[in-house]
């Protein structure tokens, strides 16, 4: 089996490759942006099944050059993935997430790729009512520029299936957590700040609800969707226990034996969605997948990973990262969270 993976040097894509490398030849096509880190693939770098092509998914010639004719699947992770960055500037999100996806769809058609697995997000559904859950047939009404770009990409994927008969499967995952997540997202940011006794920024009242799924559970679901998902279908993947951010952070601080005084309230994110929660009945009943890692256990293991990989964290938190946080907090009143 040969898989062409985009964005495999990021958080979720690298977990997919680390798990899959003994079962398939994998070409990892990645631009290595600030979020793409070859260190995430150190464990597989010398494996005969693995190759890395550094390139941009918006570059049709580079994609066609790297994409093997007739390969078994194109697994599309590559994206700009952070909501706060999309609020600072959406341009790169439109370019990579929308144009890049269309370039890949065209290339997949030309190279007769057997299946296109498109990795999307629950956030395409926008803000939920207080006790609502996203189903696969819920309306697509994204709120953030990031979610709008991912929703738009999904439309192009469905259009390629409808117009050209491309075999596509779309997965929409809730918030992932686990090792190798870039420390700009809530949990790795909170863990790495707490490790250094720095304040943890809590946006607004901290009562926004997110549905956390461990990255290994998510990747098991992606493997199931790739192998047995029905062409043209969308599958939701979630953790089964939506929680407010403050509850998650308090639990984290207990696990780390750190004081709650580290929690620092900051100005809310613009347009901040109050609730995401995923109904994953469809993938459970059709493909037999369920999340297996209880949140407390996954959180403990994740904390341990970050504690054991402090050099990885500090390499992430240099260079471009600092410039981003300067921009991010430039117009917020709280200086407490500056790094
Ligand atoms: P990430 O930000 O950690 O990694 C993104 C990867 O894509 C990086 O390796 C980066 O170098 C690469 N990339 C970016 N632009 C590129 C381009 N133009 N050409 C080639 N490569 C490029 O992202 P992640 O958290 O691993 O997310 C992977 C996918 O899953 C994304 O599509 C994201 O929208 C989706 N998703 C993520 C989550 C989450 O909680 N992290 C939840 C739901 C869906
Ligand atoms: P994030 O990890 O950015 O994921 P998403 O916005 O895609 O859900 O944020 C998760 C939640 O945590 C979200 O409600 C915003 C909030 N948040 C904070 O309160 N403080 C932070 O520093 C960050 C990055 C996020």
Give the confidence band of 192 by pLDDT, cuts at 50, 70, 90.
very high
- Region 291-311: mean pLDDT is 97
pLDDT confidence of residue 336: 46
If 0-12 CB within 10 Å is exposed, 13-18 middle and 19+ buried, where does residue 6 land?
buried
Using CB distances shorter than 6 Å, the residues near ligand 1 are: 6-7, 9-13, 30-33, 35-36, 56-58, 77-79, 81, 96, 100, 119, 121, 150, 173, 175-176, 182
Domain count, the chain: 1
pTM exceeds 0.95, yes or no: yes
- DSSP-derived pairing of the beta strands 200-203 and 209-210: unpaired
For residues 149 and 331, the model is more confident at: 149
pLDDT confidence of residue 320: 74
Residue 105 has pLDDT above 80, yes or no: yes
- DSSP-derived pairing of the beta strands 50-54 and 73-76: unpaired
Both structure tokens of 62: 């580079």
CATH for 154: 3.40.50.720
Instruction: Please pick, among 123, 184, 211, 223, the residue that the annotation labels catalytic.
Output: 123
Average pLDDT over the chain reads: 95
For 176, the enclosing helix (H) or strand (E) is strand 176-177
Domain housing 168: 2-338
pLDDT in tens, 166-186: 999 999 999 999 999 999 999
Task: For ligand 2, atom 6, name the residue with the nearest CA.
Answer: 83
Give the confidence band of 88 by pLDDT, cuts at 50, 70, 90.
very high
């Amino acid at each position: 089996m040969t898989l062409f993976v985009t964005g495999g040097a990021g958080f979720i894509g690298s977990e997919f490759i680390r798990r899959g490398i003994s079962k398939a030849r994998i070409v990892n096509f990645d631009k290595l942006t600030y979020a793409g880190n070859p260190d995430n693939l150190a464990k597989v770098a010398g494996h005969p099944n693995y190759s890395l092509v550094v390139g941009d998914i918006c570059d049709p010639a580079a994609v066609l050059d790297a994409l093997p004719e007739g390969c078994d699947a194109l697994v599309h992770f590559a994206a700009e993935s952070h909501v706060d960055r999309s609020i600072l500037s959406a341009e790169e999100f439109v370019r990579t997430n929308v144009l890049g996806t269309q370039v890949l769809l065209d290339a997949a058609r030309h190279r007769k790729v057997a299946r296109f697995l498109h990795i999307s997000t629950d956030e395409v559904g926008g803000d939920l009512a207080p006790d609502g859950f996203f189903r696969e047939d819920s309306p697509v009404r994204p709120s953030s520029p990031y979610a709008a770009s991912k929703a738009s990409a999904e439309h192009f994927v469905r259009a390629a299936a409808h117009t050209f008969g491309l075999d596509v499967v779309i997965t929409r995952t809730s918030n992932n957590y686990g090792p190798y997540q870039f420390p700009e997202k809530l949990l790795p940011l909170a863990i790495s700040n707490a490790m250094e006794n720095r304040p943890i920024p809590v946006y607004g009242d901290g009562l926004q609800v997110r549905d956390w799924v461990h990255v290994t559970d998510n990747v098991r679901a992606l493997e199931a969707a790739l192998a047995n998902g029905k062409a043209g279908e969308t599958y939701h993947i979630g953790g089964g226990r939506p929680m407010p951010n403050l509850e998650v952070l308090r639990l984290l601080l207990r696990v780390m034996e750190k004081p709650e005084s580290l929690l620092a309230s900051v100005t809310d994110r613009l347009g901040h969605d109050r609730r995401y929660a995923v109904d994953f009945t469809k993938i459970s009943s059709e493909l037999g997948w369920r999340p297996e890692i209880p949140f407390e256990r996954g959180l403990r293991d994740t904390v341990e990973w970050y504690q054991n990989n402090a050099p990885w964290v500090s390499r992430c938190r240099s260079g471009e990262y600092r410039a981003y946080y300067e921009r991010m907090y430039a117009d917020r009143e709280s200086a407490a969270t500056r790094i």
